[in-house]
Chain A
Amino acid sequence: MKRLMLLGDEAIAQGALDAGLSGIYGYPGTPSTEIIEYIQRNPEARQRNVQRTWSANEKTALEEALGISYTGKRAMVTMKHVGLNVAADPYMNSALTGANGGIIVAVADDPSMHSSQNEQDSRFYGKFALLPVLEPSNQQEAYDMPRLAFQISEMYGIPVMIRLTTRLAHSRAAITRIAVLPENEFHLPTDPNQFMLLPAFARKKYERHLSLQEKLEQEAEQSPYNTYTDGPDRSRGIIACGLAYNYLRENYTDRECPHPILKICHYPLPEKLIGTLLSACKEILILEEGMPLAEETIRGLLGYKLNIRGRLDGTIPRAGELSPALVRKALQLPDLPRAGIPAVVRGRPPALCLGCPHADTYKALKSALKDYGQGHVFSDIGCYTLGFLPPHQAINTCVDMGASISMAVGAADGGLFPAIAVIGDSTFGHSGMTPLLDAVVKKSNVVIVILDNATTAMTGMQDSQVEGRVEQICQGIGVEQEHIRIINPLERYLNENVSTFKEEIAYPGVSVVIARRPCIHVYARKRGRS
């Protein structure tokens, strides 16, 4: 079949489509976003009517996937690493309910935090839930793995994670397609209680899940993605997980690597293969993109007796992504000669676009707050987080999606006045509604500013779930009609907007100010269309 040039993200999407996918669910998040976007614009997906709309957040996405799996169909859920924190509840529990139709949880981690508020390694969730994890090392594996993932998922009745990281997610290479599998027919679980986790059932299911572990490890031992390659120089053996394998090979383009190599891309960790390497070699170098999962496991509590190099002994830095150069250093090969960055080079941080509606909202808000001193504005995650930087310097916090409102509620409890939350429309839909309910129930003295730019801008202009319904949602949750105010963040309305903020700050209860003006890119696109 035809070769395609695909991003790692797109390769997973195409691989899942070709393996009989019926529905994909997820919430945008760099570097995972392109998985769903690929399926949304794919003509075959459209023709087959594969379910492919965005979900409100990662938790609803994973539960929707469980639902379609209940009907026997194959599903994939996508998210960035922090999204799995949001979806952790259904993920952990899905280990016990298991899957009927195959379920893939595709998670893209972002070591080095290129576009994230932390770095975490989703393989630990796999270990926590005792569920298999596949970690492609290149685009072809990213394409091939969904097929194996669905197979394992349906054979053992459990979800399977595919974990990838930024550099693979956003790097393009050629893949070869193979024959397309048909989608599953509608069929309900043979055990009608499969998805029932009342304690009496859950205990049995947990026993079953524990007893599966040996078989899951057996799968990993025999996996085509875990391979042992012998080498003559056994002073050192190398374990390379996922993408790290490429950086290893990159340093031996002119010759074969002299050391035995165990490539691991399929978890749980294959104990026997690891044992073979350990007994053959004097020292083991462990290369992992992310946190030291294999290293910690192999080293254990008493591992100082083993001669293991990796992130824990400082051979490789504890934080941040790998690179060919870091791996080269760990292999004790000489650096390639290279220059430094000249001192004239200055930082060029990202900034709000010229004409961005958020900038005008911040200007008005800052003016309304100028008599109160610093430290009143809890913000959230999106383009508007860039309002922290000069020249705006309008916000004080960014923690996790939805935390702006909840933190403002808590801070008001603690005596902060005014307590302001600033949250984007998509973020509000993701996890702003529930803390707003808390605020209403407690009658918190807070002003919640919803930045309604009609899109999910930060991640590249996806639809916002709450578009056209923000006021109704606030009303429905119980915010008083007269304290739901709408402003148009434009320079010419500055004075009016400042007054609106001042009035709502003066009101001792929950106020919502909706700052409504489309992102300039949405505006340009809509104008281009009409």
Chain B
Amino acid sequence: MKKDIILAGVGGQGILSIAAIIGFGAVESGFQLKQAEVHGMSQRGGDVQSHLRISDRTIYSDLVPLGSADLILSVEPMEALRYKPYLSESGWLVTNIHPFLNISDYPDMEELMKEIRIVPHHITLDANQISKELQAPRSMNMVMLGAAAPFLDIDYRKLQDGIRFVFGRKGEEIVEMNLRAMAAGKKQAEQEL
């Protein structure tokens, strides 16, 4: 078992929570894990990524090698494409299609979607819309985690435990909301498969 994952987004969109939950699920499943995070300068609305590596054998590099990611999970469509060089030929790109507009030269949405659809294995969903419908607008990241769940090779219940672990401090209501968001994302992805 080996899963190399690139998590992508914009500072403040919550990719480190996604990393923590997948990481929890991986460790609970008895896998090895390495997770490289971005701190510092890149957090002020700039692009951020995290490299998450899961394996049943020793993991050496903290970084995913170019061309070997099994999954790019992005909470923003343009950011998904920034890491395309990491994707392996058989890898999946799972991305939110709701753009985060904080730059003046953001590309044309049609062109962007065309590029995303070129990737042989991709899943796209509007996670902002789904989280809004669930009245859980702050759980967009959990919708995306759910959408990636079918590709993780980690028991779904362990991801649910991960949510409880990460959000437990914030109370039962927040935990429930995030669990619902993850379930909705998973359902959407399964429909697209």
Q: Which residues of A contact B36 (CB under 8 A)?
A: 167, 170-172
With the chains together, A460 CA to B42 CA distance in Å?
11
> Of the candidates A5, A33, A336, which one forms a contact with B33 in the assembled complex, judged by CB atoms under 8 Å apart?
A5
| Interface membership of chain A positions 151-187, coded 1 if the CB is closer than 8 angstroms to chain B and 0 otherwise | 0000000000000000110111110000000000000
Q: Does B112 sit within 8 A of A, measured CB to CB?
A: yes
Structural contact, B39 and A170, CB atoms closer than 8 A: yes
A60 on interface, CB distance cutoff 8 Å: no
Determine how close the nearest CB of chain B comes to the CB of A188; give it in whole angstroms: 40
A346 touches which of B35, B84, B106, B115 (Cβ 8 Å): B106
B129 close to chain A: CB less than 8 A:
no
Q: Is the CB of B39 within 8 A of A460?
A: yes
Given known A31-B40, A336-B68, A351-B44, contact A344–B107 (CB-CB < 8 A): yes
Instruction: Indicate whether A324 sits within 8 Å of B61 (C-beta atoms), given known contacts A337-B89, A344-B81, A346-B106.
Output: yes
Q: Does A213 contact B (CB under 8 A)?
A: no
A350 near B88 (CB under 8 angstroms)?
A: no
B105 at interface by CB-CB < 8 Å? yes
CB < 8 Å neighbour of B59 from A30, A173, A383:
A173
Question: Residues 44-61 of chain B: 1 if any A CB is under 8 Å from the residue's CB, otherwise 0?
Answer: 111100010000010111
Interface residues of A in 336-369 (CB under 8 A from B): 336-342, 344-353
B57 contacts across to A, CB distance below 8 A: 253
Q: Is A172 touching B45 in the complex (CB atoms < 8 A)?
A: no
* Given A173-B33, A247-B60, A352-B44, A33 and B39 contact (CB-CB distance below 8 Å): yes
Q: Which of A245, A336, A350 contacts B65 (CB 8 A)?
A: A336
| Number of B positions contacting A (CB below 8 A) | 51
Q: Are A348 and B107 in contact (CB under 8 A)?
A: no
Q: Is A323 an interface residue (CB 8 A)?
A: yes
Least CB distance from B12 to A in Å reads 9
Decide if A348 touches B47 in the complex (CB within 8 Å): yes
Tell me if B82 and A341 are in contact (CB < 8 A).
yes
B145 within 8 A of A: no
Tell me the smallest distance from the CB of B161 to a CB of chain A, in Å.
Answer: 15
Least Cβ–Cβ distance between A522 and chain B, in angstroms = 15
Complex Cα distance, B98 from A114, in Å, reads 27
B-side contacts of A250, CB under 8 Å: 60-61, 65
Contact string, A75-90, partner B, CB cutoff 8 A, digits 1/0? 0000000000000000
Best-surrounded residue of B51, B62, B111 (most CB of chain A within 10 A): B62
- Which B residues, 1 to 18, have Cβ-Cβ distances below 8 Å to chain A? 10-11
List A contacts of B102 (CB < 8 A). 348, 351
The reply on B193 being an interface residue by CB < 8 A is no
Residue of A nearest to B106 (CB): A346
Most buried by A among B68, B87, B88, B112: B68
Contact B46 A345 (CB under 8 A): no
Nearest-neighbour CB distance to chain B for A357, whole angstroms, equals 14
Q: In the assembly, what is the distance between CA of A89 and CA of B23, in Å? A: 42
For B63, what are the chain A residues with a Cβ–Cβ distance below 8 Å? 167, 247, 323-324
B101 to nearest A CB, angstroms?
10
- Minimum CB–CB distance from A212 to chain B (whole Å) comes to 35
Residue B34 at the chain A interface, CB threshold 8 Å:
yes
Of the four ranges (under 10, 10 to 19, 20 to 34, 35 or more), the interface on chain A belongs to: 35 or more
In angstroms, Cα B68 to Cα A5, docked, is 24
| A324 and B27 in contact, given A173-B33, A346-B105, A350-B42 (Cβ under 8 angstroms) | no
Closest to A326 in B: B66
Across the interface, B45 reaches (CB within 8 A) one of A31, A170, A350, namely A350
The chain A residue sitting closest to B68, CB to CB, is A336
Would you call A168 and B62 a contact (CB within 8 A)? yes
Q: Closest B residue to A391 by CB, please name it.
A: B104
Collect the chain A residues with CB atoms within 8 Å of residue B67's CB.
325, 335-338
Q: Of all chain B residues, which has the CB nearest A349?
A: B46
> Is A344's CB under 8 angstroms from B112's CB?
yes
CB distance from A80 to the nearest CB of B (A): 10
**A171-B40 in contact given A335-B67, A336-B66, A345-B82 (Cβ < 8 Å):** no
A393 to chain B, nearest CB (A): 14
Q: Are B41 and A348 closer than 8 Å at their CB atoms?
A: no
Q: Does A462 contact B (CB under 8 A)?
A: no
Interfacial chain B residues near A259, Cβ < 8 Å: none
User: Are the C-beta atoms of B61 and A351 separated by less than 8 Å?
Assistant: no
Contacts of B105 on A, CB cut-off 8 Å? 346
Interface check B86, CB cutoff 8 A? yes
Task: Report the nearest A residue to B41, measured CB to CB.
Answer: A115
A9 to B21, CA, bound (A): 21
Contact digits for B66-109, partner A, Cβ 8 Å, 1 yes 0 no: 11100000000011011011111100000000000011011110
What is the chain B residue whose CB lies nearest that of A386?
B44
Residues of B within 8 A of A173 (CB): 32-35, 59, 62
Please give me the residue from chain A that is nearest to B2 by CB atom.
Answer: A253
Asked whether any CB of chain B lies closer than 8 Å to the CB of A223, the reply is: no
Contact A348 B103 (CB under 8 A): yes
B43 at the interface (CB under 8 A from A): yes
- Pair A247/B106 contact, Cβ less than 8 Å: no
The interface residues of chain B lying within 8 Å CB-to-CB of A485 are: none
A328 within 8 A of B: yes
- Residue in A33, A336, A353 whose Cβ sees the most chain B Cβ within 10 Å: A336
Q: Is B37 touching A171 in the complex (CB atoms < 8 A)? A: yes
Within 8 Å by CB of B35, from A115, A171, A460, lies A171
Interface CB pairs A-B, < 8 A, 21: A5-B33, A7-B37, A30-B40, A30-B41, A114-B38, A114-B42, A115-B42, A171-B34, A171-B35, A173-B32, A246-B62, A249-B60, A253-B57, A335-B66, A336-B65, A336-B88, A338-B67, A342-B115, A344-B107, A346-B78, A350-B43
Closest 9 CB pairs of A and B: A336-B67, A30-B40, A338-B67, A115-B40, A350-B46, A171-B62, A115-B41, A350-B44, A324-B65
14 more A-B residue pairs beyond the given contacts A344-B78, A344-B112, with a C-beta to C-beta distance below 8 A: A7-B37, A167-B62, A168-B62, A171-B51, A249-B61, A323-B65, A325-B65, A338-B67, A341-B82, A342-B118, A345-B78, A350-B44, A351-B45, A458-B40
